[in-house]
């Protein structure tokens, strides 16, 4: 178990990313001090109890925070190191009518199941037990104007991207658009299929334990993730083809501008080894207000092996 220097309970949950929200903690970056962001899944408790979407009173995907990072200014980047994610003893699988790629197959009957999570295992069905692969679904900094959604769309500072690589051992890089950055985290999953076909994962309350570094004078147009073996570039755009193109462009610029590849060499390498996939189906523009869980656009994920870097 990772030691926690600053614990933020889910009583600090908020319904958006916003520069207008007062920070609940101020930290100095680069100290190695850890912050525990406890998340909240009360909405799934209520759905499991039989309430319909129009009856629930809990905030969907609340994010805990925000945390003010001293010295962070617009044009900088936060490096959020994920040390551990501690889960409670159960999660939920929920179907909301009209949501996700399987809506036409599932029909109009709402479903909610409680899924046991114990000793690092997730029991999906009787006889179907898998290793827990906890991850952060919603992470980001505050936008310069307006509010960043905790459901959709994702935005340049992050949001509900639902990336399986936002996991222990990874570093998430987030653009800074306001003084202090205002970091918030929510929506922990016990495990999630890449692409999130159902629009939900095995949703689970838990605590994400992170530390924060600050990179001055460097800012990307979208979040990035670094794992032990890969750099992962996030594409945001609508339609999805724009998201894919922007992600590919960021990989290309990383090779050429940051790592000394020629344009031609970067092109050849990417043609062979830059793998792409869908992230969460959380869109990148405002959804239809009459169908708030119908994704527009998509978050895309573009992978580059670290072994290629000079």
Among 65, 23, 64, which residue's Cα sits nearest to residue 42?
Answer: 64
Using an 8 Å Cβ cutoff, are 214 and 69 in contact?
A: yes
The domains found in the chain, sorted by start residue, are: 6-217 (2.60.120.580)
d(CA 206, CA 133): 13
Residue with tokens 């060499």: 265
Among 90, 106, 180, 174, which residue's Cα sits nearest to residue 140?
Answer: 174
Structure tokens at 296: 């527009």
Q: What is the pLDDT along the chain (310 residues), one digit of tens a residue?
A: 789 999 999 999 999 999 999 999 999 999 999 999 999 999 999 999 999 888 999 998 999 999 999 999 999 999 999 999 999 999 999 998 888 778 889 999 999 999 999 999 999 999 999 999 999 999 999 999 999 999 888 899 999 999 999 999 999 999 999 999 999 999 999 999 987 777 789 999 999 999 999 999 999 999 999 999 999 999 988 888 888 999 999 999 999 999 999 999 999 999 999 999 888 766 556 555 555 556 556 789 999 999 999 6
Burial of 228 (0-12, 13-18, 19+ CB in 10 A): exposed
At 208, is the secondary structure helix, strand, or coil? strand
Taking residue 18's Cβ as centre, other Cβ atoms within 10 Å add up to 17
Task: Write the DSSP symbol of residue 12.
Answer: G
Crossing angle for the helix pair 263-273 and 240-253, to the nearest 10 degrees: 130
d(CA 221, CA 226): 16
At 147, is the secondary structure helix, strand, or coil? strand
CA distances from 270 to 128, 173, 244, 250, 273 (A): 37, 22, 13, 11, 5
Q: Which residues contact 195 (CB under 8 A, 6 or more apart)?
A: 277, 278, 279, 281
Report pLDDT for 147: 94
d(CA 243, CA 223): 13
d(CA 205, CA 190): 9
Structure tokens at 69: 């990072």
């Amino acid at each position: 178990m990772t030691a926690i220097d600053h614990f933020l309970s889910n009583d600090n949950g908020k319904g958006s990313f916003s520069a207008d929200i007062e920070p609940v903690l101020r930290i100095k970056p680069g100290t190695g001090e850890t912050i525990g962001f406890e998340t909240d899944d009360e909405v799934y408790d209520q759905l499991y109890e039989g309430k319909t979407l129009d009856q629930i009173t809990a905030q969907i995907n609340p994010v805990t925070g925000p945390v003010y990072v001293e010295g962070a200014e617009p044009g900088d980047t936060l490096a959020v190191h994920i040390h551990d994610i501690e889960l409670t003893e159960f999660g939920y699988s929920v179907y909301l009518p009209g949501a996700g790629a399987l809506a036409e197959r599932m029909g109009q009957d709402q479903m909610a199941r409680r899924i046991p999570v114990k000793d690092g295992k997730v029991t999906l069905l009787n006889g179907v037990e898998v290793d827990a692969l906890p991850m952060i679904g919603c992470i980001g900094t505050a936008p310069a104007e307006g509010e960043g959604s905790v459901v959709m769309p994702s935005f340049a500072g992050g949001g509900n991207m639902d990336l399986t690589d936002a996991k222990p051992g990874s570093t998430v890089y987030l653009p800074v658009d306001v003084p202090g950055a205002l970091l918030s985290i929510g929506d922990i999953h016990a495990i999630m299929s890449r692409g999130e076909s159902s629009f939900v994962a095995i949703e689970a309350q838990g605590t994400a334990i992170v530390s924060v570094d600050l990179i001055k004078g460097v800012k990307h147009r979208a979040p990035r993730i670094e794992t032990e073996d890969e750099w992962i570039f996030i594409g945001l755009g609508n339609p999805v083809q724009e998201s894919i193109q922007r992600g590919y462009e960021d990989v290309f610029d990383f090779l050429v501008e940051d790592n000394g590849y020629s344009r031609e060499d970067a092109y050849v390498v990417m043609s062979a080894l830059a793998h792409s996939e869908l992230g969460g189906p959380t869109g990148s523009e405002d959804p239809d207000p009459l169908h708030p869980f119908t994704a527009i656009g998509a978050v895309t994920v573009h992978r580059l092996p670290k072994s290629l870097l000079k």
